[in-house]
Structures are given as C-alpha cells and as structure tokens.
A = this chain, B = another copy of it.
Amino acid sequence: MEKLKETTITSEKVYDGALLRVRKDSVRLPDGKTSVREYIRHPGAVALIPWLPDGKLLLIRQFRYPLKRVFIELPAGKIDPGENPEQTGIRELEEETGYRAGRLLYLSSIHPCIGYSDEVIHLYEAFDLQRSQRCPDEHEFMEIFSLSLDEALRLIEKGEITDVKTLAGIYAAAHRKGRS
C-alpha cells in the first residue's frame, strides 16, 4: 500500500486538555504534495460483553454529553497507564456495574473514528460474573440493566442501540454463538 501512504513532515501538539489531546501534523501525500492532518491521541479502550449467570447481557444507560442524551452501552473504559486490556476490562466492569468477571474472552478490536482519532477498542466477552464487595463507582452516573441477546439484537434493528462499540460487541458475540 506504499502508493497510498502519507509520511510525517512535522508534528505538533495543538491542544492538551483535561480529556482530549489534539495533534496537528504536516504530511507528505503520495503525489509529493503536502497537507495537514489533525487528530486525537487516545490511549485505547476496552468494552465488555458481560454475561450474567441467567444468560442475559448486562448493559448500562449513560448520559453522553456531546450528544446530550442517554445511550444504551456496553460497560467500557479507557486503558490506564501500565494496564493491559484484560486488566482494564476487569476494572471497568467492576467500577461501572459492581460485578467482577472470572474470565474474559477476546473477540476483536475495532476502530471507531479513523478519520480523526487513533482510538482502538478491544472487545471482550466477560463470564463467571459475581457481585463484588465494591459498590459501583459513585462518580459514574449510570443505570445497569439486563437483556437477552435476542432482545439486544432487536434494539439494534429498531435503531435504539446506535453506539458503535455496543453494536459491534453484540454482533460479534452473536456471531460467536452462531446466532448471526
């Protein structure tokens, strides 16, 4: 793919906020001309497809400020410095839902925003869930609820699940179970 490749000429940090880090690079295009690329640097994230003992999926409802509404989502979160994705998965599931997973199964990795972010999200199914001693994180305002896989697939069809990590995670889990 050498003929599609863009190479870096200069790279500059243009915004370093509480949450977002933005870079602006000058690049050499395949035809030798130059252009500008602006993008978010992201540490990567993990999303969980958690199976409760009764066979249902554990999901959350969370208000997402950029879109000013509540979304149905899989539990998920950013990878902290020094963590591997499995550690992030166990930690975020416990913080957000109060459940501890006994076992994770890696499904796939997805790229939500390739035009302007280097974010990758690793998807894991979570099994052997047990109520943890720890309460869900008080700083996270969310509701947890459960649904069967078929109900979750119907919510995608009806356009009630539109968050891509949730959509991709549910499809990937359905595929592994031979249901899609």
Residues of A within 8 A of B (CB): 1, 3-6, 14-15, 17-20, 22, 24-25, 27, 29-31, 36-40, 61-67, 69-71, 73, 108-120, 141-143, 157, 159, 162-165, 167-168, 171, 175, 180
Contacts and interface: CB of A to CB of B under 8 A. Distances in A.
Nearest to A171: B171
A51 B119 CA distance: 30
Nearest to A36: B18
A22 B6 CA distance: 25
Interface class of chain A by DSSP = mixed
B18 A22 contact: no
A120 B175 CA distance: 25
27 contacts: A1-B69, A3-B141, A5-B63, A5-B70, A14-B17, A17-B24, A18-B38, A25-B65, A37-B65, A37-B66, A66-B114, A66-B115, A67-B118, A108-B159, A109-B162, A110-B163, A110-B164, A110-B167, A111-B164, A112-B112, A113-B113, A114-B163, A157-B175, A164-B164, A164-B167, A167-B171, A171-B180
Contacts of A19: 36-38, 116
